[in-house]
Amino acid sequence: MSVYRPLDHGWTVTAVSSEVAIENVPATVPGCVHTDLLAAGLIADPYLDDNEDGLAWIGRTAWRYETDFAVDGDDFDRADLAFDGLDTVATVTLNGERVGAVANMHRSYRFPVRELLRQGRNTLAVEFESPYHHAEAQRAVSGGRPSPYPEPYQFIRKMACNFGWDWGPTLVTSGIWRPAALHTWSTARLAQVRPEVTLDGRDGLVRVHVSVERAADVPITLTATVAGAFARARLAPGACEAVLEMRVNEPDLWWPRGYGPQPLSPLTVVLEETGQTWRRDVGFRSIRLDTTADEQGSAFTLVVNDVPVFVRGANWIPDDCFPAGVTRERLAERFAQACEANVNLLRVWGGGLYESDDFYDLADELGLLVFQDFLFACAAYPEDDPLAAEVAAEAREQVVRLAPHPSLVLWIGNNENFMGHADWGWREQLADRSWGAGYYLDVLPGIVAELDPCRPYWPGTPYSGDDSRHPNAPEHGTVHIWDVWNERDYTGYADWRPRFVAEFGFQGPPTHATLRRSVTHGPLTADSSHQKAVDGQRKLLRGLDGHLPPPATFDDWHFLTQLNQARAVSFGVERFRSLMPSCMGTIVWQLNDCWPVTSWSAIDGDGRRKPLWYALRRAYADRLLTVQDGALVAVNDSPEPWSGELELVRRSLTGEPLAKESARVRVPPRSVSRIALPPHVATAADPSAELLVAAMDETRVIRFFAEDVDLALPSAGFEAGVRPVADGYLVTVTASTLLRDLTLLPDRLDPDATVDDMMITLLPGERAVFHVRSSRDLDPASLICAPVLRCVNDGR
């Protein structure tokens, strides 16, 4: 017998402080104290206005969660309290007796309580110490360590960005953040199941490592099934471990999205004497990381089923500061947005979380590859106990938990800590104190080699593969490119020739509807949005210099800074894709946000798509034309050859053709072709009044010979019409002049409205049709004028 009883009802939370008069507030499990206090009306919404600033006291307060539950009968040998996640430093008591203590948000915990249970009413309490008090006490013992923020996050095994980041609020939580249960069982239970799924030639090989915990020394039978294969193991009395091996004849292979289907097979392990069953879906595929030395340095290429994969990635941060609220449905929406933007990989960033099972299950189903950071970010970490023991225990648990997922293709030791040690003055501050290198170069690779030998490990990002090299050496390994945005214009991406870009990005504000929701009073201004980046507002405006006109109004600022973000990231993506196969991946910072904020995201904190999302969809398309280093580059990242007639036309801004050229072009699958541009097409007589159009099949690129501020752009002229359809409206715009980056922003009229495309440049006489989806009756006249309908030259 094995019975799980969720403990998700009847909880209350109380402040354990004479200074905070909060007692017996109804609490939600899973959840956290912030959401409980918000639901009770005791705090203002921390995501709105500047409410975050007044809530620091919550992280400096101890909190007690308590519930009662009834037990009827005792027909079981063992009873365990099982907590999937406690945030973070806590003591658990049952009926007034101490059960255990915990100190790691990233672990699960199980406590035997058979002898403490009572027939009838039982009282369970979890008392959380202030995260700040614990971290500061550990810092006092270990000695200070450098980090970019004046927060002690590296001294506690807790989601680092809880303590604030350059895109996130400082909201330091406590609570039972993942499910809790009472597990009663007899005879034995499945304590751990760890499958290794590999390919042996064309056959699938599955080795399932099973550990059991016993309540009785009797023979135990374990069975496993997958894809028609079966294995059985018999454990003698006292034995607790077995390996079940199965061979699957030529299984269908699991592929990344864009490379093939994603067949999944249920792997089931059963403890026959009790019926307890463990089940996961697995996929058959091989994975390796090619770091072969070559004439340019060394490769960094992900190879799946012996096929090199160009990574079109995005970095993932926690989708909410309070992660218990992130449902499978919300993740499915975010993953759909990623796939629609032609993303094929998400990197789970090291300042966040090991995400929920739903996250990796969805990735498996959709073919979204995952790079998983171990949770270390931008700081020097002590390597002494008790933190070191927590790190090892956490890593062992999470490697086992995530190993079944075919979507997970790389473990990464840390985020930017090698860079910090090399460039941020850590050596002088640290003296002889540890900073985490032992984790990244010894502890973590050892755990991965032991528990997940079928999957590669990389010590960090950026990292060049050799401690004798600078960690951000572009010729080797992964790089992060942050001189652009922090110090340089986005055209600086053209100076880089990286092998793999794991982070790069440019800021832009959230959508208007998200910004309007987050500011509850007064008119919107450029300073209305939360801005956490150092000097962020100035950098946004500096980014416009030399590209776009200075904004005269808030509406101009909002449109132009969003547009510039989209252009900057597109410029970088196109540059790096054009370098394939020397460069074999880009991971844009970042896909998503956790609250309403001006940030680097493509999807804002309310889940709305920013203009960057549309630009990313275009820049990450299977087939791309881009002008690089005086040549036209045709990128074909599809499984079929791309053949067609390439048309090159130099035109005036008024649309007249000035020079033409055509050529028959064939681009092999998964490759790049460079086509020299004839001088009579590539050279403008008047750069301020001309442009180049390159088109093949349905793919087109327009390249201007000067920046917008130096172009003789005409005052925008067009005719527009609106036609209602079943799910919204079709908006048709016919250009009588050049329209530069024509954009429709329907969320200004309906917060739930969406549009199918943005940032379309039309030549005179061309037409665009926008599909606006909305359930409201919108004013047609408002759909076809500013500030809803915009283009760069609408104010000329």
Distance, CA of 740 to CA of 760 (rounded, Å): 7
Distance, CA of 523 to CA of 678 (rounded, Å): 52
* DSSP summary character for residue 488: B
* Residue-range domains of the chain with CATH: 2-183 (2.60.120.260), 187-282 (2.60.40.10), 287-621 (3.20.20.80), 627-710 (2.60.40.10), 718-790 (2.60.40)
State the pLDDT at residue 26. Answer: 98
Confidence bin at 297 (pLDDT 50/70/90):
very high
Residues with Cβ < 8 Å from 593, sequence gap 6 or more?
167, 317, 510, 599, 601, 603, 604, 605
| Under 8 Å between Cβ of 104 and 393 | yes
Distance, CA of 296 to CA of 300 (rounded, Å): 12
Question: Is the pLDDT confidence value at 130 over 80?
Answer: yes
Question: Is the pLDDT confidence value at 1 over 80?
Answer: no
Confidence bin at 73 (pLDDT 50/70/90):
confident
Average pLDDT over residues 454-469: 96
Parallel, antiparallel, or unpaired for β 307-309 and 301-304? antiparallel
For the beta sheet containing 631-636, the strands, ordered from the edge strand earlier in sequence to the opposite edge, are 623-628, 631-636, 671-676
- Give the pLDDT confidence of 475-526 residue by residue, as tens digits: 999 999 999 999 999 999 999 999 999 999 999 999 999 999 999 998 999 9
Tell me which residue of 260, 446, 251 sits closest to 369, measured CA to CA. Answer: 260
Question: Is the pLDDT confidence value at 796 over 80?
Answer: no
Which contacts (CB < 8 Å, 24+ apart) does range 200-205 have?
200/247, 202/250, 203/247, 203/248, 203/249, 203/250, 203/251, 204/247, 204/248, 204/251, 204/284, 205/245, 205/246, 205/247, 205/248
Average pLDDT, the chain: 97
- Give the pLDDT confidence of 741-763 residue by residue, as tens digits: 999 999 999 999 999 999 999 99
- Residue 14 sits at φ, ψ, to 5 deg, of -135, 140
Question: Is the pLDDT confidence value at 39 over 90?
Answer: yes
* DSSP summary character for residue 538: H
| Under 8 Å between Cβ of 172 and 59 | yes
Handedness of CA 569, 506, 370, 178 (dihedral sign): negative
The CB-side HSE value for 9 (13 A sphere, CA atoms) comes to 4
State the pLDDT at residue 506. Answer: 98
Average pLDDT over residues 351-362: 98
| Under 8 Å between Cβ of 101 and 91 | yes
- Give the pLDDT confidence of 599-631 residue by residue, as tens digits: 999 999 999 999 999 999 999 999 999 999 999
State the pLDDT at residue 17. Answer: 87
Question: Is the pLDDT confidence value at 279 over 80?
Answer: yes
- Give the pLDDT confidence of 713-747 residue by residue, as tens digits: 999 999 999 999 999 999 999 999 999 999 999 99
Distance, CA of 625 to CA of 633 (rounded, Å): 6
State the pLDDT at residue 75. Answer: 86
Tell me which residue of 428, 460, 528 sits closest to 144, measured CA to CA. Answer: 428
Average pLDDT over residues 328-346: 98
Question: Is the pLDDT confidence value at 374 over 90?
Answer: yes
- Give the pLDDT confidence of 621-671 residue by residue, as tens digits: 999 999 999 999 999 999 999 999 999 999 999 999 999 999 999 999 999
Distance, CA of 603 to CA of 338 (rounded, Å): 9
- pTM given for the model: 0.96
* DSSP summary character for residue 29: S
- Give the pLDDT confidence of 380-421 residue by residue, as tens digits: 999 999 999 999 999 999 999 999 999 999 999 999 999 999
